Amino acid sequence: MTLADEARRVAAEFEYSKDDVNKAVKEFIREMDEGLTKDGTELSQIPTYVTAVPNGTEKGLYMAVDLGGTNFRVCSIQLHGNTTFSLTQSKVAIPKELMVAKTAKELFAFLAKQIEKFLQTHHAEHYQGFVRRRKTISNDEGFREEEVFNLGFTFSFPVNQIGINKGLLMRWTKGFDINDAIGKDVCALLQDEIDALHLPVRVAALVNDTVGTLMARSYTSPGKKGTLLGAIFGTGTNGAYVEKLSKVTKLAASSSAADASTTNTTGNMIVNTEWGSFDNTLKVLPNTPYDAALDADSNNPGIQMFEKRVSGMFLGEILRRALVALLNNPAVPLFADDTSAANELHSTTNVDESSPLFTRWGLDSSFLSTAHGDASLGLRMTRQALDRDLAVSAASEEDAAAVKLIAAAIGRRAARLAAVAIAAVVLNTGALDAAAAAAATGPPTTTTTTTTTTTTTSQEEEAGDEIDVGVDGSLVEFYPGFEEYIREAFREIDGIGAAGERRIRIGIAKDGSGVGAALIALVAGQVAGGEEGE
Ligand code: GLC
């Protein structure tokens, strides 16, 4: 048995056929519909209280913070009102111990502290003036409403949203696990810590990163009907899309929903699918031994099963487990000098016993991007990465080829699963039909403005029959060929096919969640301004 044969065998375990993809799309559509009717379903289908996407004319200075899976970002955003914006931001890695802190307060106090630092650094005048007045003005509040920054809080975890700036944490995902926060209003948790530091900041809107991405993409690429879907393929994966309010029947049951429908003039509601938990019961998802072991060892077994096969936090771990399985099989000559062809370093291939290969989460998903995209002579880049990142010294070209093949299979499977989610949203919203109808009647008159400056996207044709999808996250940005694999799967999907695939436009909304949160804070700020004391 050669190493190449073994690598091919393992790679084949990650195949996800055309038939599998089509079955999964059907199940995804079923779960989407089910999630709109009641709570407690696999796809949570959370109404976000955001009812419209922007058109690029919005203006003003806003703040946004973004608690993602890995980093915390604080930004201020000047929306220029012509589809462009300027953004100032700072980013810190979230300390691992805070991700699993005993109390929510520990995490949120840290976040508020970062906001304070940001204001001191980037908005010193505003901040100092405010603090000065606070000290001299005797009223309780100590500030004037107009001095307060409206802040959009991007919180990239499942939240049962009960108002534009109110939402109860349903469960943690990705690496977070702070039991004390479950069921609490995350906006209030943040506002309390902001108030403790006397900062001129009001948490005006709670936003999932996917919703932010959808908003940002719609702001920066105007001149068409608006974006249908915002999706993240990063540390985690999820999507939010524009749904008809009338289909969100579970809303009718709740009273806050009644408000949403009376103030809703668009007839739409942006819905956060939380598709990371698609098919937790594994009806249609693939399940290799590596997937099963990863899940069993995770801090949330049995949930986020789709995310565990698709997103950046997990792909490296799947590869690690596949490689360790090969290493543990004495019949397989992986990283074994004797059967490797001569390697030009003339030293013995060795896997150090302290290699991160032997530690859970030891292999970063960026390694997959390197291996998969490696076109260097003799796969030198992969061999260097094996040495540098995994303490595998003097790996041979055969070793690197095996690693590359398996990494590519894992990445391709992830992209095909990503295609399932996107395709299901496109098909279930009837967007392809609607786009065709729009094309037949010509572009709407509002699209005739030929705005020349867009910030994050360019060279995109102005056409009436395209469906726009905004994406963000390390995988779509850095994983070689991720979009092309998605497109390959689209062409195999019933109801999309080659013609439909061409009409789906996928564009990066880089750092979209910050801008998107600002845009929602803007709308929320306007509403709050008119409803003070509510
Ligand atoms: C996880 C979170 C979800 C978020 C996604 C991307 O799936 O549950 O809310 O949108 O990660 O960051």
Residues 46/158, Cβ–Cβ less than 8 Å? yes
Q: Quick one: 249 and 116 in the same domain?
A: no
Are residues 99 and 171 located together in one domain of the fold?
A: yes
Using the mean position of ligand 1's atoms as its centre, give its distance from the Cα of residue 210 in Å: 8
Report how far ligand 1's centroid is from the alpha carbon of 68 (Å). Answer: 8
Rg of the chain in Å (alpha carbons): 24
Within-domain flag for 472: yes
Residue 159's domain comprises 49-137+144-207
- Closest ligand 1 atom number to CA of residue 304: 7
Residue 180 forms part of a structural domain: yes
Residue 444 lies in a domain: no
Residues 506, 390 share a domain:
yes
Q: Which amino acid is at 108?
A: F
Is residue 524 a part of any domain in this protein?
A: no
What is the number of other CB atoms lying within 10 angstroms of the CB of residue 104?
Answer: 20
Least confident of 63-77, 172-186, 332-346: 332-346
Closest CA to 315 of 431, 400, 236: 236
pLDDT at 260: 52
Domain co-membership, 385 together with 491? yes
Report pLDDT digits (tens) over 247-295: 999 987 665 554 554 456 678 999 999 999 999 999 999 999 999 999 9
Percent of the chain with pLDDT over 70: 85
In angstroms, the CA 62 to CA 49 distance is 19
Residue 213 domain-assigned (yes or no) = no
Are 102 and 123 members of one domain? Answer: yes
| pLDDT attached to residue 434 | 72
Which helix (H) or strand (E) is 433 found in, with range?
helix 431-441
Do 375 and 492 reside in the same domain of the chain?
A: yes
Helix, coil or strand: residue 62: strand
Specify if 96 maps to a domain.
Answer: yes
Residues 188 and 311 in one domain: no
Do residues 114 and 230 share a domain?
no
pLDDT at 18 over 90: yes
Question: Highest-confidence range of 196-210, 334-348, 502-516, by mean pLDDT?
Answer: 196-210
From the list 358, 206, 271, 209, the residue with the least C-alpha distance to 33 is 271
Tell me the residue length of the chain.
534
Identify whether 458 is part of a domain: no
Choose one of 45, 71, 157 to mutate for the ligand 1 pocket test, by most ligand atoms within 8 angstroms of C-beta.
157
Residues 6+ apart with CB under 8 A from 403: 7, 319, 323, 371, 382, 386, 395
pLDDT at 447: 27
User: What is the CATH classification number for the domain harbouring 334?
Assistant: 3.40.367.20
Q: Does 105 share its domain with 233? A: no
Check: CB of residue 186 under 8 Å from CB of residue 159: yes
CATH code, 110: 3.30.420.40
For the stretch 86-124, pLDDT in tens is 999 999 999 999 999 999 999 999 999 999 999 999 988
Residues contacting ligand 1 via CB (< 6 Å):
68-69, 156-158, 173-174, 208-210, 232, 234, 236-238, 274, 276, 307
Please report whether residue 451 resides in a domain.
no
Pairing of strands 71-80, 85-93: antiparallel
- Closest residue by Cα to atom 11, ligand 1, is 236
**Cα–Cα distance for residue pair 209/68, rounded to 1 Å:** 8
Query: Are residue 42 and residue 56 in the same domain, yes or no?
Result: no
Number of separate domains in the chain:
2
Give strand pairing partners of 505: 468
Distance 273 CA to ligand 1 centre (A): 10
Which of 72, 206, 232 is the best mutation target for the ligand 1 pocket, counting ligand atoms within 8 Å of the beta carbon and taking the most? 232
* Ligand 1 atom 3: residue of nearest CA: 157
Check whether residue 131 and residue 92 sit in a common domain. yes
Whole-number Å distance, alpha carbon 212 to ligand 1 midpoint, is 12
pTM for the full predicted model:
0.88
Extract the tokens encoding 128: 């100092």
Residues 248, 364 share a domain:
yes
Q: Would you give the DSSP letter of residue 375?
A: -
Q: Is the pLDDT of residue 66 over 70?
A: yes
